[in-house]
Structure 1
Amino acid sequence: MNIDETDRLIVRLLCENARMPVSELARKVGLSGPSTSERIRRLENNGIIARFTAELDLEALGYPLQAIVRIKPRPGNMHIVEDMILNEPGFLDCDKVTGEDCFVTRLALRSIADLDPVLLPFHDRAETNTAIIKSSPFRSRMPV
């Protein structure tokens, strides 16, 4: 599906605030409400908008720290390590990657003391490399 500049603007505005009323969105993109609704429906039907979601304030939920954890399973442990990641609720994101590591994850933490209890079970099956996140200048930026 080809998207035009109006579609891009709709997507950009919805990424900033998925709960923006259609009337406000329509005003910002210069279309009628029904035309804007139809474009949103078309973007959803064509898979450009996959879902609407909430962005949580992890610090307000009691998780002031986050870490990037790179995980390199030991030989024969790939699927076991993947299951371990899936079953640890502290992991917010997980990407399977090429290169030295197999997984790059993002971990939410209440304190630095919580890091060892989460990662210790992995050490028999994988090597880990952790970096504490100082700040995130931007997240989930739209490429178009």
Structure 2
Amino acid sequence: MNLDKLNWAILEELQKNARASFSEIGRKVGLTSPAVAERVKKMEDSGVISSYKVNLSHQKTGYQLRAVITLRAFTGRLKAFLETVKSFKEVINCYRITGNENIIMEVVLHDQVHLEKLIDRLITYGETRTHIILSNVIEDAPIKQRMGEF
């Protein structure tokens, strides 16, 4: 699907607030509510918009600690890890990456004891490195039209 400036403007508004009404978005981008609805439907049908999600405050749900953990899998353990990691409730993002490590995960935990228990489970699959997240510098930055200009 070819995304024009209006589609990009609609996407930016949806990334800010996916619950915004079509009329609210239309006022901001200069379109009528039905025109916005039609464009959104086309972007959903083409797969440009794949889902709408709720972003939880992990801190307010009792998960006070966030960390990034990398894993360098032991020989022959990567496949088993890729299957098992899906059951780890603490892991909110997991990526297979290039470089010295095979995996990078973002995790949410109650406290340091919870982190220790998770690391104990992970080290059966490989060598880990843990980085505690202090703050989020860019909060869910929207993808903007300029992404296509690189």
Q: TM-score range by the shorter chain?
A: over 0.9
Q: Which amino acid aligns with 2:9?
A: L
1:122 maps to 2:117: no
Compute the displacement of 1:82 (Å). Answer: 1.5
Q: 4+ runs of 1 displaced by more than 4 Å?
A: none
> What one-letter code is carried by the residue in structure 1 that aligns with 2:11?
V
Deviation at 1:5, TM superposition (A): 1.1
The structure with more helix, counted as a fraction of residues? 2
The alignment status of 1:81 with 2:81, answered yes or no, reads yes
Query: What is the CA–CA distance in structure 1 between the aligned matches of 2:136 and 2:91, rounded to whole Å?
Result: 17
- Give aligned-pair identity as a percent: 26
Uncovered stretches (5+) of structure 1, i.e. residues with no partner: none
Counterpart of 2:118, as a letter, is: V
TM-superposed deviation, 1:86: 1.2
Q: Is the contact made by 2:65 and 2:108 (CA closer than 8 Å) also made in structure 1?
A: yes
Contact persistence 1:90–1:107 (CA under 8 A): yes
Task: Kindly report the root-mean-square deviation, in angstroms, between the aligned alpha carbons of the 2 structures.
Answer: 1.1
Other-structure match for 2:65: 65
| Cα deviation 1:46-77 (Å, max 9, x = unaligned) | 11111111111111111121100001110000
Q: Aligned partner of 1:111: which letter?
A: D
Structure 2: runs of 5+ lacking an equivalent: 146-150
AA aligned to 1:78 is: L
The whole-number CA distance in structure 2 between the counterparts of 1:11 and 1:124 is: 42
Q: So what's the TM-score if we normalise by structure 1?
A: 0.95
Structure 2 residue matching 1:51: 3-state secondary structure: coil
